[in-house]
Copies of this chain bind each other. A is one copy, B any other.
Amino acid sequence: MDAAAFKARLAETAAAVERILDDLLSSEARPGEIARPRGLIHAMRYATLGGGKRLRPVLAVETARALGRFDRGPLRAGAAIECVHAYSLIHDDLPAMDDDDLRRGRPTTHKAFDEATAILAGDALQTLAFEILADPDTDASAKTRAELCLRLARAAGLAGMVGGQMLDVEAETTPALLSLKEISELQAMKTGALLAFSVDAGALLAGSDAQASAALATYGSAVGRAFQIADDLLDAEGDTATLGKRAGKDAARHKATLVAALGLDGARRELARLVEEAKAAVEASGAGKSGGMLSAIAEFVASRKS
């Protein structure tokens, strides 16, 4: 797949997810709803709309497509995952957490609104994610919908994303450096679990068989780890203007990263190895030619500049 076609397809999926989020976050109350408070909707829209790579939705949608499902269901699941991702960013940026003023080149949600609104917007975005997944519009099968909710909860909760953030907060206030194993576990929870769920959700929605599911789980895990190393490398090497968020903050906080543990060269080698692992898993999934987009995503994740 050539670079222009790849970029166009990424942009097309991102735009489709954006349209779904825009519709879900309408300021008009739906039938049965009492009201949608304007301030809350504004903050939720601010935090979710207006771009971003939409990597997680893209993973869900392209996994489903590789296995033959092309309708709106995976796009809706992708929108749900994006809600969870956006909520985690809002809360992570709060003064009591990472205390960041800048995100994607714009003021963070609590800076653009206020802290109370940011906390509530994050809370409501998490709820919305489950509302989307549990809605028959996402999949006609109740079994699939319940399974999506269960797996998202496991990926996002105390032993997943939130737990990883807790370990990260603790690591910053602990003088001892984490071991390589501890860093890997922290990152597998904090960012890996939701990325892996994105692939998993796509496979589930496409009704993948056991062999494809196992191979795609390997793919999702490798892409998740590659994403985190690439992120750490960007923080270590990038600049604030390109990133749209503060660069160098990991080092400034003695933050536990694989770059700190492996060194720049070691991290780059590990990144290249993970891309190969991801591509081999796509082969093993039996997706055949339709897996080309998944392989291209693995390369994209490793080589991104922002």
Q: Residues of A with Cβ closer than 8 Å to B?
A: 29-30, 32-37, 39-41, 44, 87, 91, 94, 96-97, 114-117, 119-120, 122-124, 126-128, 130-131, 133-135, 141-143, 145-147, 149-150, 152-154, 156-159, 162-163, 165-167, 169-170, 185, 188-189
CB distance from A232 to the nearest CB of B (A): 19
Q: How far is the CB of A24 from chain B (nearest CB, A)?
A: 10
Q: Are A97 and B116 in contact (CB under 8 A)?
A: yes
Asked if B119 and A34 sit within 8 Å, CB to CB, the answer is no
Q: Which residues of the partner chain B approach A115 to less than 8 Å between Cβ atoms?
A: 96
Q: Which of A29, A119, A170, A185 has the most CB of B within 10 A?
A: A119
What are some 14 contacts across the A-B interface (CB < 8 A)? Answer: A33-B154, A34-B163, A35-B163, A39-B166, A41-B158, A44-B158, A119-B119, A120-B166, A124-B157, A124-B163, A127-B156, A128-B157, A131-B154, A141-B142
Using Cβ atoms and an 8 Å threshold, which residues of chain B touch A143? 142
Closest Cβ neighbor of A118 among chain B residues: B96
Interchain nearest-CB distance for A146 vs B (Å): 4
A120 touches B165 (CB 8 A): yes
Partner among B33, B141, B189 whose Cβ is within 8 Å of the Cβ of A34: B189
Interface of chain A, helix or strand or loop or mixed? helix
Whether the pair B170, A37 counts as a contact (CB closer than 8 A) is: yes
Distance in Å: Cβ of A237 to nearest Cβ of chain B: 28
The minimal Cβ–Cβ distance linking A75 to chain B, given in whole angstroms, is: 19
- In the complex, chain B residues whose CB is within 8 Å of the CB of A145: 142, 146, 149
> A147: which B residues are within 8 A, CB to CB?
134, 142
What separation, in Å, do the CA atoms of A32 and B147 have in the docked complex?
16
> What chain B residues lie within 8 Å of A91 (beta carbons)?
119-120, 123
A152 to B188, CA, bound (A): 29
Contact across chains for B133 and A149 when beta carbons are under 8 A apart:
yes
Q: Flag if B128 contacts A166 (CB, 8 Å).
A: no
The distance in angstroms between the C-alpha atoms of A166 and B124, with both chains bound, is 10
* In the complex with contacts A149-B146, A159-B35, A188-B34, A40-B134 CB distance below 8 A: no
Query: Could you tell me the distance in whole angstroms from the C-beta of A81 to the nearest C-beta in chain B?
Result: 13
